[in-house]
Amino acid sequence: MTGDGSNSNVSAPPSILVDHVSRWFGSVVSVADISFEVQPGITGLLGPNSAGKTTLLRMICGLAGVSEGTVRLLDQPVRNNPSIYKRVGVMSEHEAVYGFMNGRDFVKFEAKLRGVPDPKAATDEAISYVGLEHAADRPMGTYSRGMRQRMRLAATIVHKPEVLLLDEPLNGTDPRQRIQFQALLRELAAEGKTILISSHILEEIEQLADTVLLIVAGKLAASGDYRAIRAKLNEQPYHIKIISDKPRDLASLIVGMEAMDAVNVDSDGGLIVLTRDLLRLQRELPKLAQAGNIRLLRVEPLDDSLESVFGYLVG
């Protein structure tokens, strides 16, 4: 996967090709001139809410048209090319299901529509893959959010697609389900599938994807190896606000610590600490407070949101 072509396999066409794609709704630009390629493995599509991830994914899977540019899946056009869906599985962000259908019927329904030769066997296999055999004969309207997501994943993979496009698939799952889900996706990637998964949660993608595409305000802010991007993020100091009963005493103690870039006192008496070594601050701050007999009232990161983290990359 690359945004600039540096990591692409030039001999094989990419599984997903997005070439100068834009999409606007009236005067609002949702996606602006984005280009990248995706190869087999797990690629994370990361960005804050309303960054344009869903619009981009919908254009990639053909649910929405592009205003400008080209999208190709497995070297074929995607829009108005239904035969591509024999090789592609899509899980949209909506959690809607046919509530009156039971899980097994729903997965079998999708298997039959995709022309799977033995829909019953494929259905049983897909349901066992997501570990929902016990609930497969219950109407989907009675499922929890996480169960619906897993059954929708079963329907998405029932025809063993080469490319999987998953829009925020971990929404609504509890931590245990999330771990199961991630393990499933890793297994599929190990089988050589191409998986493009979107999320607005940095940690979610960090645990899954080696390569990421970072979308901010409809533009591709960064792309490539996750660790390289993370390192780039770590070059920026974190902003931490600390409220205490003795801000000036605490400031003098923090200034003496290593790897602190700056300490400022803001207008309401809080300390704004800039540091590249967040762990050290986390470790040392309680000890400093105890030593100085200072009461810590609140410690909060000012730039923990994805928007501000991405701001470093684009700004």
Partner 1 sequence: MSRWTIHLRVFSATWSADMSLIYTLTLRQLAGKWRIIIIVVLAILPIMLSISSRFGDVRPIPSEIDDVLVNGMFASAILPIIVLALATAALGNEVEDKTLSFLVLNPLARWRIVLPKLLAAITIGGLVVVVSGVVSALVAFEGDTEAAIAIGIALFAGVAAYSSLFLWLGLMTSRGLAIGLLYVFLWEGLFSNFVSGIRMVSIREYIIGVTSAIDDGRFAGPNQDPVASATAIIGVIAVTIVFLLLSVRRLQRMDVP
DSSP assignment of 25-85 equals: ETTEEEEEEEEEEE-SEEEEEE--TTSSHHHHHHHHHTSS--SEEEEEETTEE-TT-GGGG
Q: Among residues 109, 125, 138, 296, which is the contact residue for partner 1, using CB under 8 A?
A: 109
Q: Does 56 bind partner 1 (CB under 8 A)?
A: no
Q: Among residues 5, 65, 141, 286, which is the contact residue for partner 1, using CB under 8 A?
A: 65
Q: Among residues 20, 94, 227, 287, which is the contact residue for partner 1, using CB under 8 A?
A: 94
Q: Which CB atom, from 63 or from 274, has the smaller least distance to partner 1? A: 63
Paired tokens of 223:
């792309």
Q: Which CB atom, from 88 or from 215, has the smaller least distance to partner 1? A: 88
Using CA atoms, how far residue 238 sits from 47, 203, 235, 276, in Å, is 19, 17, 9, 6
Amino acid identity for residue 115 in this structure:
G
Q: Among residues 20, 49, 50, 100, which is the contact residue for partner 1, using CB under 8 A?
A: 100
Determine the interface stretch with partner 1 among 36-44, 54-62, 240-248, 257-265 (rule: CB under 8 A): 54-62
- What minimum distance in Å lies between the beta carbon of 65 and partner 1? 7
Q: Which CB atom, from 140 or from 189, has the smaller least distance to partner 1? A: 140
Determine the interface stretch with partner 1 among 81-89, 189-197, 199-207, 227-235 (rule: CB under 8 A): 81-89
Alpha-carbon distance of 206 to 231, in angstroms, equals: 13
Q: Which CB atom, from 96 or from 259, has the smaller least distance to partner 1? A: 96
Amino acid identity for residue 226 in this structure:
Y
Determine the interface stretch with partner 1 among 55-63, 67-75, 192-200, 306-314 (rule: CB under 8 A): 55-63
Q: Which CB atom, from 159 or from 239, has the smaller least distance to partner 1? A: 159
Give the length of the chain: 315
Q: Among residues 1, 45, 57, 61, which is the contact residue for partner 1, using CB under 8 A?
A: 61
- What minimum distance in Å lies between the beta carbon of 101 and partner 1? 8
| Of residues 251, 309, 261, 254, the one with CA closest to residue 282 | 254
Angle CA 259–263–265, to nearest 5? 165
Q: Which CB atom, from 116 or from 281, has the smaller least distance to partner 1? A: 116
Alpha-carbon distance of 158 to 129, in angstroms, equals: 10
Alpha-carbon distance of 35 to 18, in angstroms, equals: 5
Q: Are 144 and 177 in contact (CB under 8 A)?
A: no
Q: Residues 145 to 174: which contact partner 1 by CB under 8 A?
A: 155
Q: Does 80 bind partner 1 (CB under 8 A)?
A: yes
Q: Are 156 and 149 in contact (CB under 8 A)?
A: no
Q: Among residues 29, 32, 63, 251, which is the contact residue for partner 1, using CB under 8 A?
A: 63
Q: Please, is 155 exposed, middle or buried when counting C-beta atoms within 10 Å of its C-beta (0-12, 13-18, 19+)?
A: buried
Would you tell me which residues interact with partner 1 (CB under 8 A)? 58, 61-65, 80, 82-86, 88, 90, 92, 94, 96-98, 100, 109-110, 112-115, 155
